[in-house]
Structure 1
Amino acid sequence: MISPLLSVSNLHVGFGRDLVKTEIVKGVSFDLSAGETLAIVGESGSGKSVTALSINRLVDFGGGRITAGSIMLSRADGTTVDIATAKEPVLEKIRGGEIGMIFQEPMTSLNPVLSIGRQIAESFRLHRGLTGRQAEAAAKDALDRVRIPDAARRLKYTPNQLSGGMLQRVMIASALACNPRLLIADEPTTALDVTVQAQIMALLAELKRETGMGMIFITHDIGLVAGSADKVMVMQAGEAVEQGPLDDILDRPQHAYTKHLLSAVPHFQSGRAARADFARQQKQMAALKVEGLTVRFPVSGSIFSRSPGSVHAVENIGFDLMPGETLAIVGESGSGKSTTARAILGLVKPIRGDFSTPGTNAATRTDPGVQMVFQNPYASLNPRLRIDSILAEPVIAAGEPVTAKTRERMAMLLKRVGLPEDSLERYPHQFSGGQRQRLCIARALMLNPKILVLDEAVSALDVSVQARVLELLIDLQKEYGLAYLFVSHDMAVVERIAHRIAVVYAGQIVEIGDAASVLSNPQHSYTKRLISAVPTIDRRQQHFEIDTRQIPSLVRPAGYEPPQADWRGFGGDHRARVEA
């Protein structure tokens, strides 16, 4: 019998002074063979990331300690080492050399002041002894391997000059630089658009086939698990509550927590699950009307030359949003969807276009009746302020006094979003991610707005928490007649909450209409590409195609004006741009 590449037995990990009381991982065991992918799933705090960090002993650097168990790794030279008890000099050779790791957020994993080439070349210097031009050539080959175009030039880039998808490819290139036998990918696609996500998964699958490496894939996206994993391990409260072959776990789950996770996941159903609880009235006044919205950013020229033109971030976008309706704006990073939302809020100044709400201030183009809920609840709440002060912020910003009536509204909204009234005396760090996003929603409702702009408002949350926040948003919409402008890259979430969808590509709307119609019968090639990239629980062992196409450059020469768009209708209000 062939011995496994990795064998973890009865792993226990604790933190702090009392390692037993603060135990995070409690007796986890599993085996992984070469060429096999194990998906570890579970909510935040379940112990899945700590388990992954323990496999190469990175947990030691965060105050954690392995208190019991073994982690047996079969090495390239035929020997076996117990990572749980190995000394640091041995671990230094294993990390990066035999175990590669891709972290969730590339911007925090890469040094912001060093070039991409220098950071990748570091692996070759440490593990292969390459220096100078040899290390630089190896770094270029690594970027070529992960399909980054114009690799030689991009070696000189710093991380802030690349998109999220490109940065994640750089992380993969760095992790695979020395052909590790085991790759640990911790939420590698969480913040990426569906098309970029599909490319990353295709890339990992191809590299796994080429090298025969084993892979541990940590995620909360069950659709991705279905498309890429061979085996699944479900973790809850530090324990592996269920594990087995992919089909057994997804089709015949035995543990109650596994069933709960699978039921909480928003499964994409090609429009069949779209909401049907809103009907437009012919003479109804729009809560928000946008016409010809255009946002451009000038490109700086050199001292001796004029500006070469401008970035056409948003070009001639128009739509209307009715009270009680949700319009989802979907598209890849850089497509212009967030810039559109920011322009409507007055955070970005458009060069032309009209957008109005019943309460718009003509001079400032702002309206207190339009409020925003941001993507990251950890970053959008001031950690130094108590919750009562945070909820009072929009009231103070609107020039109104904080009175007893204001405090009554705070208490009412906290109750409405499912939080206790004593939350007012607490600080943000005393709440979970889902609770913080509920606080952000309560803050946005303090001024009794008519429109909420939700910019990736649930993408940072676990699937079960995400489901509860979506249910809350739908309940609040029905109760207060709110209109939602919902910016997202997650098509399964969009299907669950949207009444209408606008697909944005290269700064322009290319398709718009009723959610069920757009998702079930997409007409524009870009919409079709977005939908085909959505991972679903029904697509097992999906073969993702590697596609190196990029969104075309939005930089246009000075004086350029795009041609007038032609549209075709497909029933109801569903229409799409005619493609050249």
Structure 2
Amino acid sequence: MIPLLSVSGLSVGFGRTPQASEVVRGVSFELADGETLAIVGESGSGKSVTALSINRLVDFGGGRITGGSIKLRRADGSILDLTAASEPQLTKIRGAEIGMIFQEPMTSLNPVLTIGTQIEESFRLHRGLTGRQATAAAKDALDRVRIPDAARRLKYTPNQLSGGMLQRVMIATALACNPRLLIADEPTTALDVTVQAQIMALLAELKRETGMSMIFITHDIGLVAGIADKIMVMQNGQAVEQGELNQILDQPHHPYTRHLLQDVPHFASGRATRPDGRRDRAPDAEPALKVNDLVVRFPVKSGFFGRATGAVHAVDGVDFDLMPGETLAIVGESGSGKSTTARAVLGLVRSTRGSFSASVRKAAAGQSALPIQMVFQNPYASLNPRLAIESILAEPIIATGGRVDAATRAKMATLLKRVGLPENSLERYPHEFSGGQRQRLCIARALMLNPSVVVLDEAVSALDVSVQAKVLELLVDLQREFGLAYLFISHDMAVVERIAHRIAVIHAGQIVEIGDAKSVLSAPKHAYTKKLIAAVPTIDRRREHFELDTRQVPSLVRPLGFEPGPARWEQFGVDHRMRVEA
């Protein structure tokens, strides 16, 4: 049987001399009807360039195919070499026979056009539909991807939909003309774990219904265990290993494949929690951070005079203690209130009521100390590109009234060495460092003021998986060395499992479960915690069928004057309790 897609010796380069700067070299694979190939690798491995080359979208980014062939078996049985196809031929192929879903739906959709208008474009271009016929086809496309109330949502603009809904719109657009091949380029990377599970379930269901073939691009080898038939692992522009799913996962041969499977964080249902375990708390121990009845509300205004008619209960009565040398992970979906909690503790968001206090560490003579510092998600956006690293590290000292003297510069050099960067980094600029190195710089800057608590808000989610593992190791080492307390905000349960001593699960602005990390992950008690953990992809769950859930996230808007009832808790063991619903 002739394969649907046959790629042989594909090489792709960029710039004026693409042959001299190839980022993909000699990649070959075949894809049969109804088959799913997962292409796995880190940033820069060439996996996305390979995908973009199949329908020649790489041409629009300055890339050129410098060698090899890409042959597609068309619906009429004829074979077309896409590397030699003309632009009019490719225009007919794109969308009609090869659909594509990109990583970030917000940058793929026009923000000023309605969802309906953008989906209808595919039907107009490839099927010649107009007017009511195109609108009806667009509604059917949204129904197909299980978007509730599809007719009304056709009139929405992208900013009115959540990330998960937008990705469903992208899938609906890609499948509008029933392509025989779907290319999904990191379609779930920016999504919460529960939304990610829903998108994966949707793709698997649509694949069964339509019989289409799929190429799934990802950096998470555990994610594809539930959907792929074959896996191709890419490193430095080359395919270093490929084969059947079980063969690659159970008997990897290449060192890089083994690295992705063994060294990179994968969720293990509590079996991979930190070996130092739960922190024993002395009765008279002073918390590094104490938060009591924290409430954050944002007014909802309406009418001509903009009067407050309600409030968004972003955080509603959060309590916890964080001890020195301990890591408390706060987990939950987007909009649950975890980042708002962290920002309120730092004073970046004004709290409506509640109290929080942090202990102040002793600093060396002449040096400043500030109890809480923060490391943000995007290291490049956190560093001023116009300042040298010495000036960036000096900013916290100057902001607190200190002087940049010999002792300060010595501390800079010590911290740079401690986070694994050379001393000559002080004269360099942020753009001269990799993503992982930039995050190490952000960590060094946070430690300049001798904090007792460091808040890490999705601090490793923007990093490659192997770089992520190294930064986690660094954080653990620094915690042991300096006795730091970490408030670790994340939606990645595999990362949380590696670094947390305790876990607080936040849902709809309230902590619904809190306790020892191993206990919470291995024996969750609250229904929401169980839902979060059940949605985490692992290499052990193969061909697992997720039930598609089209229910909407509950609104956090409450009428003026509304106050929730007092919290009631059920205790499980020494350090594990669950909020009991009223």
CA distances 1:302-351 after superposition (whole Å, capped 9, x unpaired): 11784331111110011010010000000111111111111111111111
Which residue of the partner structure matches residue 343 of structure 1?
A: 344
Aligned equivalents of 1:296, 1:215: Cα separation in 2: 44
Which residue of the partner structure matches residue 231 of structure 2?
A: 232
The alpha carbon displacement at 1:276 in A equals 4.1
Which residue of the partner structure matches residue 457 of structure 1?
A: 459
Q: Aligned with 2:20: secondary structure?
A: coil
The alpha carbon displacement at 1:577 in A equals 1.1
AA matched with 1:189: T
Conserved 8 A contact 2:358-2:453:
no
AA matched with 1:424: L
The alpha carbon displacement at 1:426 in A equals 2.0
Superposed, 1:279-318 pairs within 5 Å as: 279-303=280-304, 306-318=307-319
Q: 1:552 to 1:91 in 2, by over 3 A?
A: same
Conserved 8 A contact 2:359-2:452:
no
Q: Aligned with 1:78: secondary structure?
A: coil
Which residue of the partner structure matches residue 105 of structure 1?
A: 104
Conserved 8 A contact 1:264-1:463:
no
CA distances 1:9-51 after superposition (whole Å, capped 9, x unpaired): 0000011012122110000000011211111111111111110
AA matched with 2:270: G
Aligned equivalents of 1:123, 1:401: Cα separation in 2: 61
Aligned equivalents of 1:562, 1:524: Cα separation in 2: 19
AA matched with 1:283: D
AA matched with 2:372: V
Q: 1:381 to 1:121 in 2, by over 3 A?
A: farther
Aligned equivalents of 1:422, 1:181: Cα separation in 2: 54
Aligned equivalents of 1:304, 1:399: Cα separation in 2: 43
The alpha carbon displacement at 1:402 in A equals 2.5
493-502 or 547-556, larger mean C-alpha shift: 547-556
Q: 1:491 to 1:59 in 2, by over 3 A?
A: same
Which residue of the partner structure matches residue 434 of structure 2?
A: 432
CA distances 1:408-465 after superposition (whole Å, capped 9, x unpaired): 2222211111111222222222222211211111121121211111111111222111
Superposed, 1:498-513 pairs within 5 Å as: 498-513=500-515
Aligned equivalents of 1:423, 1:63: Cα separation in 2: 32
Conserved 8 A contact 2:417-2:423:
yes
Q: Aligned with 1:291: secondary structure?
A: strand
Which residue of the partner structure matches residue 323 of structure 1?
A: 324
Q: 1:418 to 1:155 in 2, by over 3 A?
A: same
Runs of 4+ in 1 over 6 A off after TM superposition: none
AA matched with 1:443: R
The alpha carbon displacement at 1:388 in A equals 2.1
Which residue of the partner structure matches residue 156 of structure 1?
A: 155
Aligned equivalents of 1:164, 1:471: Cα separation in 2: 31
Aligned equivalents of 1:282, 1:142: Cα separation in 2: 60
Which residue of the partner structure matches residue 135 of structure 2?
A: 136
Q: Aligned with 1:261: secondary structure?
A: helix
Q: 1:305 to 1:23 in 2, by over 3 A?
A: closer
1:373 and 2:372 are equivalent in the alignment:
no
Conserved 8 A contact 2:34-2:211:
yes
Aligned equivalents of 2:315, 2:208: Cα separation in 1: 41
Which residue of the partner structure matches residue 262 of structure 2?
A: 263
Conserved 8 A contact 2:360-2:452:
no
Superposed, 1:179-258 pairs within 5 Å as: 179-258=178-257
Aligned equivalents of 1:119, 1:436: Cα separation in 2: 38
The alpha carbon displacement at 1:359 in A equals 4.4
Q: 1:198 to 1:69 in 2, by over 3 A?
A: same
Q: Aligned with 1:203: secondary structure?
A: helix
Q: Aligned with 2:552: secondary structure?
A: coil
Q: 1:148 to 1:378 in 2, by over 3 A?
A: farther
Which residue of the partner structure matches residue 7 of structure 1?
A: 6
Aligned equivalents of 2:119, 2:395: Cα separation in 1: 44
1:490 and 2:524 are equivalent in the alignment:
no
Aligned equivalents of 2:198, 2:151: Cα separation in 1: 21
Aligned equivalents of 2:450, 2:55: Cα separation in 1: 51
Q: Aligned with 1:339: secondary structure?
A: helix
AA matched with 1:117: G
Which residue of the partner structure matches residue 533 of structure 1?
A: 535
2:523 aligned to which of 521, 543, 553: 521
Aligned equivalents of 2:309, 2:133: Cα separation in 1: 37
Q: 1:238 to 1:352 in 2, by over 3 A?
A: same
1:91 and 2:93 are equivalent in the alignment:
no
AA matched with 1:295: V
Which residue of the partner structure matches residue 364 of structure 2?
A: none
413-422 or 515-524, larger mean C-alpha shift: 413-422
Aligned equivalents of 1:420, 1:515: Cα separation in 2: 35
Aligned residue-pair number: 573
Q: Aligned with 1:308: secondary structure?
A: strand
Q: Aligned with 1:101: secondary structure?
A: strand
CA distances 1:285-316 after superposition (whole Å, capped 9, x unpaired): 00110111111111121117843311111100
The alpha carbon displacement at 1:137 in A equals 2.5
Superposed, 1:468-487 pairs within 5 Å as: 468-487=470-489
446-455 or 318-327, larger mean C-alpha shift: 446-455
CA distances 1:167-208 after superposition (whole Å, capped 9, x unpaired): 211211121121111111111111211111100000000111
Q: 1:82 to 1:513 in 2, by over 3 A?
A: same
Conserved 8 A contact 1:524-1:579:
no
Conserved 8 A contact 2:360-2:451:
no
Aligned equivalents of 2:457, 2:306: Cα separation in 1: 38
Aligned equivalents of 1:516, 1:194: Cα separation in 2: 19
The alpha carbon displacement at 1:400 in A equals 2.2
Aligned equivalents of 2:580, 2:476: Cα separation in 1: 34
Which residue of the partner structure matches residue 363 of structure 1?
A: none
Conserved 8 A contact 1:313-1:335:
yes
| TM-score, L = length of structure 1 | 0.96
Q: Aligned with 1:493: secondary structure?
A: helix
242-251 or 168-177, larger mean C-alpha shift: 168-177
Q: 1:137 to 1:392 in 2, by over 3 A?
A: farther
Aligned equivalents of 2:404, 2:105: Cα separation in 1: 41
CA distances 1:135-182 after superposition (whole Å, capped 9, x unpaired): 222222222221222222322222222222122112111211211111
AA matched with 1:120: I
Aligned equivalents of 2:306, 2:416: Cα separation in 1: 56
CA distances 1:454-504 after superposition (whole Å, capped 9, x unpaired): 111111222111111100110011011111011111111111100000000
Which residue of the partner structure matches residue 365 of structure 2?
A: none
Which residue of the partner structure matches residue 57 of structure 1?
A: 56
537-546 or 296-305, larger mean C-alpha shift: 296-305
Aligned equivalents of 2:577, 2:320: Cα separation in 1: 12
Aligned equivalents of 2:316, 2:465: Cα separation in 1: 34
Superposed, 1:377-396 pairs within 5 Å as: 377-396=379-398
Which residue of the partner structure matches residue 75 of structure 2?
A: 76
Conserved 8 A contact 1:234-1:240:
yes
Which residue of the partner structure matches residue 20 of structure 2?
A: 21
Conserved 8 A contact 2:571-2:578:
yes
CA distances 1:347-399 after superposition (whole Å, capped 9, x unpaired): 11111111111249xxxxxx932111111223222223322222222223223
